[in-house]
């Protein structure tokens, strides 16, 4: 999603729980150790002939992210500031659920 802001995370691998996938993705993408606190919201969007489910979790972190090759920038953002950022359409339903 070049040039757009997105939530950390990614595809859940076969036989992997979503929470474990999120921990793995934070570690791989941002070199950040997190603990998953709980599920906040879920949303679905249609992409290339498939329904894709997005899950939003509350997490706690131990430290600050380190940028890898996949990302050029990161920020901790308050919910009231989300409208200032250009998120992909796929994230818009989830954002509405979280912050409306």
Give the burial string for 9-40 (b: 16+ CB within 10 Å, else e). Answer: beebeeeeeebebbbebbeebbebebebeeee
Total of domains in the chain:
1
Tens digits of residue pLDDT in 24-33:
999 888 888 9
Residue ranges of the chain whose pLDDT lies below 50: none
Q: pTM score > 0.95 for this model?
A: no
CATH of the domain at 24: 3.90.79.10
59 lies in which domain range? 18-99
Residue 84 resides in a domain: yes
Cβ atoms of 54 and 90 within 8 Å: the answer is yes
Strands (E), 31-89: 33-47, 50-62
Residue 12 resides in a domain: no
Give the burial string for 75-92 (b: 16+ CB within 10 Å, else e). Answer: eeeeeeeeeeeebeebbe
């Amino acid at each position: 999603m070049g040039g757009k802001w997105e939530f950390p995370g990614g595809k859940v691998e076969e036989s992997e729980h979503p929470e474990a996938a999120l921990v793995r993705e934070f570690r791989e993408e941002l070199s950040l150790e997190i603990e998953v606190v709980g599920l906040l919201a879920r949303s679905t969007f249609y992409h290339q002939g498939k329904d894709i489910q997005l899950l939003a979790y509350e997490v706690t972190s131990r430290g600050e992210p380190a940028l890898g090759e996949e990302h050029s920038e990161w920020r901790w953002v308050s919910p009231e500031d989300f409208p200032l950022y250009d998120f992909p359409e796929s994230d818009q339903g989830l954002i509405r659920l979280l912050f409306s």
